């Protein structure tokens, strides 16, 4: 099961739903996923334990929940991954993969888009070309926000997935040296 499935479930579903949707939650990552830096090692292990539990069976902890996939940049894998994760966990998706066909083309700000969409869904997955977009969205939102990549900033759920894959393949991710190849300057994955 994709990491996006258990990030979605941990933020907006399963038996922990009420505490995860509470703005006063003691752990900020249950309110939003903005940066990999917001996670403690204990948080990461908790997310991975939930991922392991969800991968065992076909549960539908997000039945009746809706996410909005709001992608200001082209995306195939990330957008599809969140869409698939949400539907596999029993929820629905409002896909907005082409902001060219939204009110953004008429000058609607990111903040106004977020305020409008939060009326229709329980969580917003946001991919945006500006590095401060996730923080700006979170500042005006009354529902959880997941940063699905922000400009040349970071891609925290991809970083979590990479760590989870390393843990599954190697048994742990502590005390390892990892070599990365690719666009080191502009690659969100490398920054995260």
Within the chain, where are the H helices?
A: 3-12, 17-21, 41-56, 77-88, 110-117, 133-140, 156-170, 188-191
CA atoms of 53 and 44, how far apart (whole Å)? 14
| Residue 60 annotated to the active site | no
| Residue 105 annotated to the active site | no
Out of 58, 76, 77, 175, the active site residue is 77
| Residue 155 annotated to the active site | yes
Torsion sign, CA atoms 86, 140, 103, 128:
negative
| Residue 127 annotated to the active site | yes
Out of 30, 155, 167, 188, the active site residue is 155
Out of 58, 76, 106, 185, the active site residue is 106
Out of 30, 78, 128, 157, the active site residue is 78
Q: Which residues contact 30 (CB under 8 A, 6 or more apart)?
A: 10, 11, 16, 19, 20, 144
Catalytic positions are: 77-78, 106, 127, 155
């Amino acid at each position: 099961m994709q990491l996006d499935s258990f990030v979605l479930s941990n933020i907006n579903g399963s038996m922990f739903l009420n505490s995860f949707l509470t703005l006063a939650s003691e752990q900020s990552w249950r309110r939003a996923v903005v940066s990999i830096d917001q996670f403690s090692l204990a948080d990461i292990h908790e997310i991975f334990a939930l991922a392991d539990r969800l991968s065992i069976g076909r549960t539908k902890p997000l039945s009746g929940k809706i996410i909005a996939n709001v992608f200001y940049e082209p995306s195939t894998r990330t957008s599809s991954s969140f869409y698939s994760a949400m539907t596999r966990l029993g929820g629905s998706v409002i896909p907005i993969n082409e902001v060219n066909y939204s009110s953004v083309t008429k000058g609607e700000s990111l903040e106004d888009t977020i305020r409008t969409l939060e009326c229709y869904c329980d969580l917003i997955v946001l991919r945006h070309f500006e590095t401060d977009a996730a923080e700006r969205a979170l500042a005006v939102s009354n529902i959880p926000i997941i940063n699905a990549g922000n400009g040349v900033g970071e891609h925290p759920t991809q970083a979590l997935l990479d760590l989870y894959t390393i843990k599954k393949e190697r048994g742990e991710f502590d005390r390892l040296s990892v070599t990365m190849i690719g666009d080191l300057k502009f690659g969100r994955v490398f920054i995260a």
